[in-house]
Amino acid sequence: MRRALVVGNWKMNGTRDSVRQLLADLKAGLDVGKPVDVAVCAPFVFIPEVAEQLKGSAIAVGSQNVADQKSGAFTGEISPAMLVEFGVRYAIVGHSERRAVYGETDALVAARYAQAIEGGVIPILCVGETLEQRESGDTFKVVKEQLDAVLDKAGVQSLGKAVIAYAPVWAIGTGKTATSQQAQEVHEFIRGEIRKRDAAVAEKVQILYGGSVKADNAAELFAMADIDGGLIGGASLDPKAFLTICHAVG
């Protein structure tokens, strides 16, 4: 049985005060008896305070990206070693906003993923198609290309220390959620592609769904056979909604 994981992606939101309040509410409200791991991916500058406030709690800290290099002249980047020093467990890589708005290619995403693995941070690899790609029947092709870029570079065994998130671009921040069947179909495809490389790894890897997950649709999505939790954007800023989503597992 794969353990469920729910990850909040705060994106570029929050203030020191709002983050403190949000974490206090999450710590107070989280039912630690539920079979779910929980993490929040904070903007880099908040990470030291977030890690401090979450020390000893069941909630892990994540970042929203990680460098594709170990150290050196890479202005604006944050290395895995720096993240580890501040208690970071997860790093999102290849989020569609990074791919679409900042031009991150499959090759760059694969390099970030590989550095995360090497540096001891668990990458949350995001894959997913645009609306145009879905409508032209290219969903599986696009997802496979994004996945293969990473597996060809880092090897299938790397998934033992990684998480995948299927986050279709057309469903992110739009209020349009994939139906549980639509999501399951792609999750099953992803697991099948991994199985072709290594069956044991495929059974173990957590595949999260991301894209307008809300308190009222989480349980149905999480009940699907190959959906192991969620990557939650907008709703992760609302403690009540985020906790309801975390508790919708199992």
Can you give the binding site for ligand PEP, defined by CB under 6 A? 9, 167, 172-173, 210-213, 231-235
* Nearest to ligand PEP of 100, 199 (CB atom): 100
* Residue least distant from ligand PEP (Cβ): 233
Q: Specify the amino acid at residue 47.
A: I
Q: How far apart are the first and last CA of the chain?
A: 11
Minimum Å gap between C-beta 70 and ligand PEP is 27
* Nearest to ligand PEP of 80, 94 (CB atom): 94
Minimum Å gap between C-beta 143 and ligand PEP is 15
Query: Cα separation of 163 and 165, whole Å?
Result: 7
Rounded to the nearest 5°, which phi and psi values hold at 118?
-65, -35
* Nearest to ligand PEP of 119, 234 (CB atom): 234
* Nearest to ligand PEP of 126, 201 (CB atom): 126
Minimum Å gap between C-beta 175 and ligand PEP is 8
Minimum Å gap between C-beta 215 and ligand PEP is 12
Rounded to the nearest 5°, which phi and psi values hold at 212?
55, 40
* Nearest to ligand PEP of 119, 230 (CB atom): 230
CA dihedral 164, 235, 2, 203 (to 10 degrees): -30
Minimum Å gap between C-beta 47 and ligand PEP is 17
CB proximity list for 5: less than 8 A, separation 6 or greater: 36, 37, 38, 39, 163, 206, 208, 228, 229
